[in-house]
Amino acid sequence: MISGQGLIVSEDVKAGTLLMASKAYAIGSSSGIQDFSLLVCIDLITNTANRSTQARCIVDAVQKLRRNPQTAEEVYSLYAGEEDAERVPPPAGVIDSGRIERIHCYNAFMPTPIPTNDDDHKQLERPEGGFLDTDPTGLWLLPSFFNHSCLGNVNRVFYGDMLFAYAICDLTKGEELTIPYSSPMQPYKSRVNYLNKWRFSCDCRLCQLDSADPGGEELRAELGKKIGNIK
């Protein structure tokens, strides 16, 4: 259930419960393109160059709006920054491509493909930032209302253009559903810097503990590395 600009559960939920299954509104992938690396755009919000699949996702969203104008109200209800705080859609027939780009910046998901063979497993080591240029990017409408917490209570699983969300723990009626926008295993300062790109900060329980006890953060990072090396 949507409440304000977040999602809450309307009844008690047990851990492991499937909360939603959502098909991507728009998606960008490298399949079927001979030289997808030539497609790029600059994100003026984060001041970074988008990956080619991010650029393709924006183009796909604009094309989807053009073909399905009846979806405009739902798409433009997504957060696009303080300049679009009222979230009022433009006049009928008008596509605000700049706003679509901002919606994509704040709401797009970048799922890491699930390995299906030995070659995929060999590529599990990701570069700094966690993504390859060939990784897909998608815009899912209802899941975009998940707010952030480093200790989120929802896990997302991607299969193609489908997103499935499961409860990580038991949830009580009225509790907000949250997901981590960055890995909770990242150092506190790294998480802060990452979230600052989207102009907000986190004050979840983990961030409170990390900011008060830097030594504990370092110990957790070391344990995380050890766990990652277990085969």
Predicted pLDDT at 16: 96
CATH of 2-113+126-229, one of 3.30.565.10, 1.10.260.40, 3.40.50.360, 2.170.270.10: 2.170.270.10
Predicted pLDDT at 122: 44
By the 10 Å C-beta count (0-12 exposed, 13-18 middle, 19+ buried), 209 is classed as middle
- φ/ψ of 214, rounded to 5, equals -55, -30
In sequence order, the β-bridge partners of residue 162 are: 23, 159
- φ/ψ of 7, rounded to 5, equals -115, 135
Predicted pLDDT at 119: 47
Predicted pLDDT at 199: 79
Q: Please state, in angstroms and rounded to a whole number, the distance separating the CA atoms of residues 33 and 115.
A: 21
Predicted pLDDT at 83: 79
Report, as ranges of residue numbers, the positions in the chain whose pLDDT lies below 50.
Answer: 119-124, 126-129
Convert the pLDDT of each residue in 89-105 to its tens digit.
889 889 999 899 999 98
Predicted pLDDT at 107: 93
Predicted pLDDT at 187: 85
Within 10 Å of residue 142's Cβ, how many Cβ atoms? 16
Predicted pLDDT at 86: 78
Q: Where are the domains of the chain?
A: 2-113+126-229
| Closest of 65, 72, 67 to residue 87, by C-alpha | 72
Q: Please state, in angstroms and rounded to a whole number, the distance separating the CA atoms of residues 181 and 195.
A: 8
Q: Please state, in angstroms and rounded to a whole number, the distance separating the CA atoms of residues 23 and 27.
A: 10
